[in-house]
Amino acid sequence: MGDFVPHTEAEIAQMLADIGLESLDQLFEVVPEALRLAGGLAVAPGMPEADVLAEMGRLASKNKVGSDLICFAGGGAYDHDIASATTRLAFRSEFVTAYTPYQPEVAQGVLQALFEYQTLVSRLAGLPIANASLYDGASAAVEAVNLAAAATRRQTIWVSGGLHPHWRSVLQTFAVGTGHHLVDVPLRGALTDWSAPPEGGEEPAALLVASPNYLGAIEDVRAARAAADRHGALLLAAIDPVSAGLLRSAGEDGADVVVGEGQPFGTPLSFGGPYLGLFACGMDQVRRLPGRLVGQTLDTEGRRAYVTTLRAREQDIRREKASSNVCTNQTLIAVACMIQMSWLGTAGLRELALRCARGTRYAREAVTAIPGVELLATAPTMREFAVSLPVPAPTVVGRMAEEGFLAGVPVGIEGGIVQDGGDALLIAVTEKRTKEEIDSFVSALEKAVR
Amino acid sequence: MSPAPGGKASSAPVVGRDHEPTIFEYSSPGRRSASFRTTGVPEWDADELVPAQHLRAEPIGLTEVSERDLVAHVTRLTHRQYSVDLGAYPLGSCTMKYNPKLCDDAASLPGLAAAHPATPEHLVQGWLELLWSLADTLCRITGMAAATLQPPAGAAGELTGLLLMRAYHASKGETRHKVIIPDSAHGTNPASVTLGGYETVTVPSDRRGLVDLDELRSRLDDDVAGIMLTNPNTLGLFEEDIAQIAGAVHEVGGLLYYDGANLNAILGVTRPGDMGFDIVHMNLHKTFAVPHGGGGPGAGPVAVSPRLSDFLPGPLAIRRDDGTFGWDTPARSIGRIHSWHGNALALARAWSYILANGGDGLRRVAEGAVLNANWLRHRLRGVYDLPYDRPNMHEFVASTTSLKKQKGLRALDVGKRLLEEGFHAPTVYFPLIVEEALMIEPTETESPQTLEALADALIRIAADPPGEGAAAPRTTPVGRVDEARAARTLLPTWDAVVEAG
């Protein structure tokens, strides 16, 4: 047998003889003959390692990345530096090739890393409990909505018009199954207007606000809390974990559940995945927490040990009554996040947020000085901002790519709800962007909008 | 000497079975690892950038450690962790095979890893070609017509499939309420059924360990949206009556959902599409060598028959007539499942694995997996109970029911003893229909010598004097862990530990 099946022909013959068979085909006699695949798979024959890597290299070379396409795009996926320590440690095969820690005695490494991750996410969110990760920011938002509906026994969710449009789409997809009713609450300018209740609806289970929102604007989470209180609803807040380095935590501002996209801490852009769903909540919701949770305990000899806990919430035990169907999560990405956050540390996280905000302000002032380019709406921003342009954004993005820039993500607003695509441009600046790069970007943009 | 002002942990090696301190115990005020590039951007203060009403008063206290201590800490954590790269992992239904290293290198290529997901399509032709090729090939492997790569894991794939089922019935003006699953199914199946807005109807297994056809027929009516099946099932047995099952379900207008957890067993042998399935999810982290990462990330693409392709989540990678690649969303798409395009780097790993194996190699995967599992079952006959002692596929289920009666040996104890023997434990107490179940999946990448050693260990454990198993494991980084205490005194963060004193 070939490549990754180690058996020699002689060993196969012996093993077959041991179980009373003469050929490998006989192993599959339990498959009715009519269903057996005649002639094998219509898939090309296998390739040697070097050829595979050459082919993967060919595909990789057909993508423009890095210094060929300097990244000013954000929209939920950010071009941050990653510490060498993070990359080197998170790629250790003990983490990469382990299974879910069902046998805690031989999984203390992953379990303790997740325990430390939960602690860091809890501090970031300003809430006492965080789970061991979900798939991405959008799936974390879906789980938050499901938690709120279960906690309040209500079906309606008020969703800020400033939420990431892809997240809104994911929420809508899953709401078809759960029967939850999503009501869009429009933006006034760049910020959610919670003052007028959406018409004709039932009382909401929760309000879902993103801060900073998709346009980069910092929302008033306390105002959202007050609105939630007026309706006896939970407050679900989607945060950007980098911005959290400067902003007051959503938990402190009254959010019951905090979700977020953890990609900025230690995960490359990766064409959108695997990313990391951050999820934190109060102790009052712990029995409804989706997914895995690691707790500290002791072993038989009184030594500190870690184990997945409150397992009765989970699908393998509770089956159709489980708090969520999630099983496989994003553990390895959570481990990378734990290492990157520890490397950043208390001072580093603040400095990272500060540097993003500085670059964003510098770029925003220069970009909006270009004739015909204006802020889409005025509001305080942190790490990205949206501008209207004299030329449609997709055209500008195409022109800017010729100059070696990924200029941003096209965005629009319809009826106070942010939309994917559109003629405006969402521009993000991370700590990686130098003054020189921003200056060249602005010069190129000046030509591209003519 | 006065005590250190921060934590007390040092980078002096921890030996034996002492615990590794948390990263928070290494913290010392003012110590740091992080540095940032020189940008030349004006250095405004925080209050010049963000209105005071939004600013936090104090930085978030994460931890304050040197890179050296961080690296020592995390490296020591890896020393307290078992993994496939270290040894065999016969965890039934999880397909913990060895994952070729070339896949790691492939997924680390900067041209793949550094691409922003919102890059215009003409600038990411390589990614689109990869995704299109993978979807096309997964359809060839499963015998389906079209596939979405967005679902980030198996459970997400299941829910996607159920929402596709829903959309299909809705397009016919029907609202159906029930989904049938066998009593041997994974827990994600019923959990997904609930989230898909359906009610679970369980069908029992017969004495062969297969879906009881008469019991199934008695549950079928026009309120059944479909059935979810794993084939081979979680007992490792091929559902021989699948053609009749498909016929009966289709007759009442229901759809067949294939849970791809056990796809490894049938690669190149038979295809879900040929069996009559309408919807298939695949666990790329089981069958196609995406490493499990200690619990994820995985990837759970969903492939469908022609009548369902119009409903797939979008956008999908497409190949245009001029040979270029782009995005397209199907006309009646159920919407997005993921923020972007799924776990793209995991998809790239799977593509490199498929390229390396090819159609011929994938068939050898199934042959090796099924040969290993059958051989091991034969070796354990007479030692452990084999409740379904018949030709199995990639895994089989043994039981300690007799050994428990004789000397108190439980499935749990066998698992813990195996840890001492240097192997990972099998899946225990699953499927739920077998008492004291040991679900064993050796996978194709373990050599006959490794299998022999695993069999010897299992046979030794069965011969242990009474009480031996309950004391295990004694050679692992920690002894048996007190799970009840963890739930009773919940300590989910270091802050909770400190507060509890």
User: B141, A41: Cβ pair inside 8 Å?
Assistant: yes
Task: Name every chain A residue with its beta carbon within 8 A of the beta carbon of B33.
Answer: 83, 85, 342-345, 348
- Which of B200, B372, B480 has the CB atom closest to A299's CB atom? B480
Task: Name every chain A residue with its beta carbon within 8 A of the beta carbon of B176.
Answer: none
Neighbours of A44 (CB within 10 A): 12
pLDDT at B11: 62
A157 Rama sector, left if φ>0, alpha if ψ -120 to 50, beta otherwise: beta
Asked if B143 and B273 count as a contact pair (C-beta separation under 8 A), the reply is yes
CA dist B270 to A1, A166, B350, Å? 19, 37, 20
pLDDT at A192: 97
- Which of A29, A273, A322 has the CB atom closest to B342's CB atom? A273
Does the pLDDT value for residue B12 go beyond 80?
Answer: no
Does the CB of A39 have a partner CB in chain B at under 8 Å? no
Give the three-class secondary structure for A204: strand
pLDDT, mean over chain B: 95
- Which of A28, A43, A88 has the CB atom closest to B137's CB atom? A43
Task: Name every chain B residue with its beta carbon within 8 A of the beta carbon of A318.
Answer: 187, 191
Residue of B nearest to A12 (CA): B371
Task: Name every chain B residue with its beta carbon within 8 A of the beta carbon of A268.
Answer: 113-114
Asked if A111 and A308 count as a contact pair (C-beta separation under 8 A), the reply is yes
Average pLDDT over residues B338-343: 98
Does the CB of A289 have a partner CB in chain B at under 8 Å? no
Average pLDDT over residues B79-84: 96
Instruction: Give the pLDDT confidence of A46-96 residue by residue, as tens digits.
Output: 999 999 999 999 999 999 999 999 999 999 999 999 999 999 999 999 999
Residue (of B335, B139, B130) closest to A270 by Cα position: B130
Does the pLDDT value for residue A328 go beyond 60?
Answer: yes
Instruction: Give the pLDDT confidence of A26-49 residue by residue, as tens digits.
Output: 999 999 999 999 989 999 999 999
Contacts 24+ apart (CB under 8 A), B389-393: B390/B208, B390/B209, B390/B237, B391/A27, B391/A29, B391/A30, B392/B232, B392/B235, B392/B236, B392/B237, B393/A30, B393/B232, B393/B236, B393/B237, B393/B238, B393/B262, B393/B265, B393/B266, B393/B369
Does the pLDDT value for residue B248 go beyond 90?
Answer: yes
pLDDT at B1: 40
Task: Name every chain A residue with its beta carbon within 8 A of the beta carbon of B356.
Answer: 3-4, 46-49, 52
CA–CA separation, A206 vs A171, rounded Å? 13
Residue B379: phi, psi to the nearest 5? Answer: -65, -30
Query: Which residues share a beta bridge with B179?
Result: B200, B226
- Which of A58, A172, A177 has the CB atom closest to B166's CB atom? A177
Asked if B60 and A245 count as a contact pair (C-beta separation under 8 A), the reply is yes
Asked if B229 and B211 count as a contact pair (C-beta separation under 8 A), the reply is yes
CA–CA separation, B405 vs A410, rounded Å? 68
Task: Name every chain A residue with its beta carbon within 8 A of the beta carbon of B17.
Answer: 301, 303
User: B54, A352: Cβ pair inside 8 Å?
Assistant: no
- Which of A81, A97, A109 has the CB atom closest to B292's CB atom? A97
CA–CA separation, B374 vs B215, rounded Å? 29
Does the CB of A223 have a partner CB in chain B at under 8 Å? no
Does the pLDDT value for residue B84 go beyond 70?
Answer: yes
How close is the nearest chain B Cα to the Cα of A92, in Å? Answer: 8
For helices A9-18 and B448-462, what crossing angle results, to 10°?
Answer: 30
Q: Which tokens hold the place of B496?
A: 């909770």
pLDDT at A322: 80
pLDDT at B2: 44
B427-428, strands of its sheet edge to edge: B396-399, B437-440, B427-428
Under the banding of pLDDT at 50, 70 and 90, the label for residue A2 is very low
The label of the residue with tokens 């970031």 reads A124
Instruction: Tell me, yes or no, if the pTM score tops 0.95.
Output: yes
Under the banding of pLDDT at 50, 70 and 90, the label for residue A1 is very low
CA–CA separation, B340 vs A39, rounded Å? 37
Under the banding of pLDDT at 50, 70 and 90, the label for residue B134 is very high
Instruction: Give this complex's ipTM.
Output: 0.97
User: A314, B187: Cβ pair inside 8 Å?
Assistant: yes
A302 Rama sector, left if φ>0, alpha if ψ -120 to 50, beta otherwise: left
User: A37, B446: Cβ pair inside 8 Å?
Assistant: no
Question: What are the DSSP calls for A257-277, one per residue?
Answer: EEEEE-TTTT---GGG-S--E
Residue (of A201, A213, A217, A219) closest to A157 by Cα position: A201
Average pLDDT over residues A317-331: 85
| Residue % of chain A over a pLDDT of 70 | 99
Average pLDDT over residues B216-235: 97
Q: What are the residues whose beta carbons fall under 8 Å from the beta carbon of B255, sequence distance 6 or more?
A: B165, B168, B225, B226, B227, B249, B278, B279, B308
How close is the nearest chain A Cα to the Cα of B17, in Å? Answer: 8
Residue of A nearest to B107 (CA): A56
Q: What are the residues whose beta carbons fall under 8 Å from the beta carbon of A237, sequence distance 6 or more?
A: A208, A209, A210, A211, A221, A224, A250, A253, A255, A257, A258, A259
> How far, in whole angstroms, is CA A90 from its chain's centroid?
18
pLDDT at B4: 45
User: B119, A64: Cβ pair inside 8 Å?
Assistant: yes
User: B194, A322: Cβ pair inside 8 Å?
Assistant: yes
User: A303, B78: Cβ pair inside 8 Å?
Assistant: no
3-state helix, strand, coil in chain A (%, to 5): 40, 20, 40
User: B345, A271: Cβ pair inside 8 Å?
Assistant: yes
CA–CA separation, A131 vs B493, rounded Å? 10
Between these two residues, B5 and B18, which has the higher pLDDT value?
A: B18
- Which of B155, B191, B364 has the CB atom closest to A2's CB atom? B364
Average pLDDT over residues B63-83: 96
Asked if A199 and A172 count as a contact pair (C-beta separation under 8 A), the reply is no
Q: Which tokens hold the place of B355?
A: 């390229």
B327 Rama sector, left if φ>0, alpha if ψ -120 to 50, beta otherwise: beta
B225 Rama sector, left if φ>0, alpha if ψ -120 to 50, beta otherwise: alpha
User: B295, A292: Cβ pair inside 8 Å?
Assistant: yes
CB pairs under 8 A between A and B: 723
> How far, in whole angstroms, is CA B336 from its chain's centroid?
21
User: B359, A40: Cβ pair inside 8 Å?
Assistant: yes
Helix spans in B344-393 (H): 344-380
The label of the residue with tokens 């003052």 reads A195
Average pLDDT over residues B4-23: 68
Query: Which residues share a beta bridge with A207?
Result: A158, A235
Sequence letter at residue A63: N
Residue (of A182, A159, A322) closest to B158 by Cα position: A322
Average pLDDT over residues A109-130: 98
pLDDT at B13: 58
For helices B67-78 and A108-125, what crossing angle results, to 10°?
Answer: 130
Give burial (CB, 10 Å; 0-12/13-18/19+) of B219: middle
Instruction: Give the pLDDT confidence of B96-120 residue by residue, as tens digits.
Output: 999 999 999 999 999 999 999 999 9
Dihedral (CA of B263, B267, B270, B276) sign:
positive
pLDDT at A374: 97
H or E element that contains A150: helix A137-152
Does the CB of A257 have a partner CB in chain B at under 8 Å? no
CA–CA separation, B147 vs B165, rounded Å? 15
User: A271, B115: Cβ pair inside 8 Å?
Assistant: yes
Residue of A nearest to B365 (CA): A5
Does the CB of A362 have a partner CB in chain B at under 8 Å? yes
Average pLDDT over residues A244-257: 97
DSSP state, B481? B
Task: Name every chain B residue with its beta carbon within 8 A of the beta carbon of A293.
Answer: 492
User: A108, B80: Cβ pair inside 8 Å?
Assistant: yes
Q: Which tokens hold the place of B132?
A: 């299109």
How close is the nearest chain A Cα to the Cα of B405, in Å? Answer: 25
CA–CA separation, B473 vs B414, rounded Å? 10
Instruction: Give the pLDDT confidence of A329-354 residue by residue, as tens digits.
Output: 999 999 999 999 999 999 999 999 99
- Which of A46, A136, A432 has the CB atom closest to B360's CB atom? A46
- Which of B270, B367, B489 has the CB atom closest to A36's CB atom? B270
Query: What is the SS3 assignment for B234-303?
Result: CCCCCCCCHHHHHHHHHHCCCEEEEEECCHHHHCCCECHHHHCCCEEEECHHHHCCCCCCCCCCCCCCEE
Give burial (CB, 10 Å; 0-12/13-18/19+) of B52: exposed
Instruction: Give the pLDDT confidence of B177-209 residue by residue, as tens digits.
Output: 999 999 988 889 999 999 999 999 999 999 999
The label of the residue with tokens 């300690």 reads B400
User: B124, A333: Cβ pair inside 8 Å?
Assistant: no
Instruction: Give the pLDDT confidence of B280-299 residue by residue, as tens digits.
Output: 999 999 999 899 999 999 99
Instruction: Give the pLDDT confidence of B365-398 residue by residue, as tens digits.
Output: 999 999 999 999 999 999 999 999 999 999 999 9
Does the CB of A45 have a partner CB in chain B at under 8 Å? yes
CA–CA separation, A4 vs A49, rounded Å? 11
Q: Which tokens hold the place of A365?
A: 């002032």
3-state helix, strand, coil in chain B (%, to 5): 40, 10, 50
